[in-house]
Amino acid sequence: MVLKPSLLIVDDDSLIGESLSFVLSDEFDVRVCESRTEAMMLLKSGGFQPQLALIDLGLPPLPHLPTEGFKLLGELLAWSQRIRVLVLSGQNENSNARRARALGAIDLVPKPCDPSHLRKLLFAALNADDDEHLSSPDEIAHSLIGDSPAMHNLRSQIDLYASSAFPALIEGESGSGKERVAAALHYLSPRAALPFLALNCSAISANLVEPTLFGYVKGAFTGAASNKAGYFEDAGDGTLFLDEIGELPLDLQPKLLRVLENGEYQRVGDTQPRQAKARIVAATNRDLRAEVKEGRFRADLYHRLSVFSLLVPPLRELGSDKLKLMEHFRLQYAAKHHTEPFTLDASARDAWQRYAFPGNVRELKNIVIRLTAKYAGYAVAKMELLTEFEVPDEQTSTETAAPTFFDPKREITGNAEFRLDQVLAAVELKYIDAAIDLSRGNMSQAARVLGVSRSTLYSRLEALRPDADKKTP
C-alpha cells in the first residue's frame, strides 16, 4: 500500500476547509483545523505528522489580521524544518504574502484556488526536498557554503569543537542553518558513525517532553502500554541535538541540567538510574541571556549548555555568499527536476546581492525553488525577481538591513502629493510590524515592546489597516 503525502489545512472558513479536503483527499492524507491553537495541538500530540501545510493568514481570534497566520507559520517551521508550507492568499494581501514567503512559506495559493493548479503546487512543494539528509563528513564539509569571513570563522569553530564531548550551543536567527551546523559537529567528529538524533523542543506538548527525552516504563501514565526508550538512550554514544532549547519547559530544565552535570537520568515511572553518554548540542533563535534575566531559562543550565558557543551569521551579513548559495541551489534543483537552470541578468544579480533576506537561507532556497519552477532555462530580469522579495523596492532592501533614513526637506520639496499623516502612519506600521515579528506574534509582548497597552495596539492596527476588517473570501 502506497502511503499518501500528509497535508494539514488550516482555515477558519469551514466551507473552504471542507471543500479543499474533498478535492484533495484522493491524493493526500488531509487533516483540517480552523485555528492555530487547534493545529499545533494536533501536531504536538504526535498523532499526525504532515509533510505539507496549507494555511490561511487570517485566523481566529484575529481573522481580520495576519498575526495568527504569521505565528502559525513560524510554529510550523519550528516544529519541523522540513515541512513545506503554502499560504492561502487573498487578492489584497500582497505585502502580507511577501512577508509570509520571507518567513519561510514556499509558495502562495490565491483565493479562490483552482484545484488542478493547487495539486501542482502541492506536489512541486513536496518534491522540492533539498539536501537536508546529508550523512557523510565530506558532504557536510561541502554543505557549509561561503567564502565570507563569517563563514570561514564558523567552519573553523566547527573544526575546533567537533571532536570534543562537551556540550555546544548554536545561536542564530530562524532559517539560518543551525541544524546543518549541529550535523557538521557530529559528522566531522569521531562519533560520525554513531547516531545523530534531533528533537525539536517546541514540536511536542510540554507533558510529552520528559517521556520523549528520557523514556518511560509500562504503566507510568495512561497509554504507556510497554517500556520505551527515550532520545538519550537511543542516541547512545552519538549526538543528541536539542533544537529550540529555549522552549524547554522551566520545570523540566533541572532534569536536563542533572544529565549534563553527572550523566544520570531516569525513565518516567522508573527508579533505576541510567547513564547518558551522548554529546548534547543545543540550538536556539532566542537570546538565552535575556531569557535568563527574565526568569524563563535557568542560568546554570545556560552555562552548562554553552561550554562551546557558535553563532550562525544571518545571510544579510555574508556579502557575496548570497550569490554563491543561489548558484549552488539553482544547479541542485534544476538537476533534481531535470530542467535547465534559470539565470539572473546583471540587474537581477545586483538586486539579489542588495536584498537582506530576512528569512535567511530558508527564504533564499524557497526563492530559488520558485524561480526554478517559473523560469527554467530563462534569464530572470530584475522586475521579475523583485516580485519574489518581501520588500520589492530594492532601495529598502540594503545588505545590512539597516533602518532607512530620509531627508524631510527632500521628501516635501516638489512632492505635491506629500501627506504627513500618510508618512507617519507608514512609519508607525513598520514599527508595529517589527515588534510583532520580534515577539513571534505574541501581541501582549509586542505591546510591551512598543510601550503601549494591548488594546491600544489592536486599535492602532485597526486604524492603520482600514481594509483589514473584511476577510477576503
pLDDT at 111: 79
Q: Which residues of 17-54 are buried (b: 16+ CB within 10 A; e: fewer)?
A: bebbeebbeeebbbbbbbbbeebbebbbeeeeebbbbb
pLDDT at 46: 78
Looking up residue 306, the CATH number of its domain turns out to be 3.40.50.300
**Cell representation of residue 384:** 521579475
181, 304: one domain? yes
Q: Label residue 138 left, alpha or beta by phi (over 0 means left) and psi (-120 to 50 means alpha).
A: alpha
Bridging pattern class, strands 239-243 and 279-284: parallel
pLDDT at 2: 62
- Residue ranges in the chain modelled with pLDDT below 70: 1-2, 90-94, 128-142, 391-419, 437-441, 465-473
108, 151: one domain? no
217, 350: one domain? no
Task: Establish if 404 belongs to a structural domain.
Answer: no
Looking up residue 331, the CATH number of its domain turns out to be 1.10.8.60
Q: What is the pLDDT of residues 351-376, one digit of tens each?
A: 999 999 988 998 999 999 889 988 99
Task: Establish if 403 belongs to a structural domain.
Answer: no
pLDDT at 440: 63
Looking up residue 13, the CATH number of its domain turns out to be 3.40.50.2300
pLDDT at 11: 93
As a whole number of angstroms, the distance between CA 73 and CA 75 comes to 5
Task: Establish if 132 belongs to a structural domain.
Answer: no
Going by C-beta distance under 8 Å and a sequence separation of 6 or more, which residues neighbour residue 39? 8, 10, 33, 55, 72, 76
Task: Establish if 283 belongs to a structural domain.
Answer: yes
186, 51: one domain? no
Going by C-beta distance under 8 Å and a sequence separation of 6 or more, which residues neighbour residue 431? 450
As a whole number of angstroms, the distance between CA 55 and CA 109 comes to 9
Q: Count other Cβ atoms within 10 Å, centred on residue 102.
A: 24
Q: What is the pLDDT of residues 148-190, one digit of tens each?
A: 999 999 999 999 999 999 999 999 998 899 999 999 999 999 9
pLDDT at 79: 83
307, 322: one domain? no
Going by C-beta distance under 8 Å and a sequence separation of 6 or more, which residues neighbour residue 465? 65, 429
Q: C-alpha distances in angstroms, 380 versus 64, 101, 234, 372, 375?
A: 35, 19, 48, 10, 7
Going by C-beta distance under 8 Å and a sequence separation of 6 or more, which residues neighbour residue 249? 206, 209
Give the residue numbers spanning the domain of 95.
6-126
298, 150: one domain? yes
As a whole number of angstroms, the distance between CA 8 and CA 25 comes to 11
Looking up residue 428, the CATH number of its domain turns out to be 1.10.10.60
379 neighbors 344 (Cβ within 8 angstroms):
yes
161, 111: one domain? no
**DSSP percent split of the chain into helix, strand, coil, nearest 5:** 45, 15, 40
Task: Establish if 277 belongs to a structural domain.
Answer: yes
Q: Which of these three, 313, 346, 375, is where a domain ends?
A: 313
Task: Establish if 234 belongs to a structural domain.
Answer: yes
pLDDT at 469: 40
Task: Establish if 231 belongs to a structural domain.
Answer: yes
148, 163: one domain? yes
Q: Which of these three, 367, 396, 425, is where a domain ends?
A: 396
Helix, strand or coil, per DSSP, at residue 437: helix
Task: Establish if 202 belongs to a structural domain.
Answer: yes
Q: Which of these three, 269, 297, 313, is where a domain ends?
A: 313
Residue with cell 512632492: 415
As a whole number of angstroms, the distance between CA 36 and CA 134 comes to 32
Q: Tell whether the torsion through CA atoms of 91, 92, 94 and 96 is positive or negative.
A: negative
Backbone angles phi, psi at 464, to 5 degrees: -80, -20
309, 358: one domain? no
Type and span of the H or E element at 274? strand 273-275
48, 162: one domain? no
161, 266: one domain? yes
99, 17: one domain? yes
Q: Tell whether the torsion through CA atoms of 71, 73, 74 and 76 is positive or negative.
A: positive
pLDDT at 340: 93
| Total domains, the chain | 4
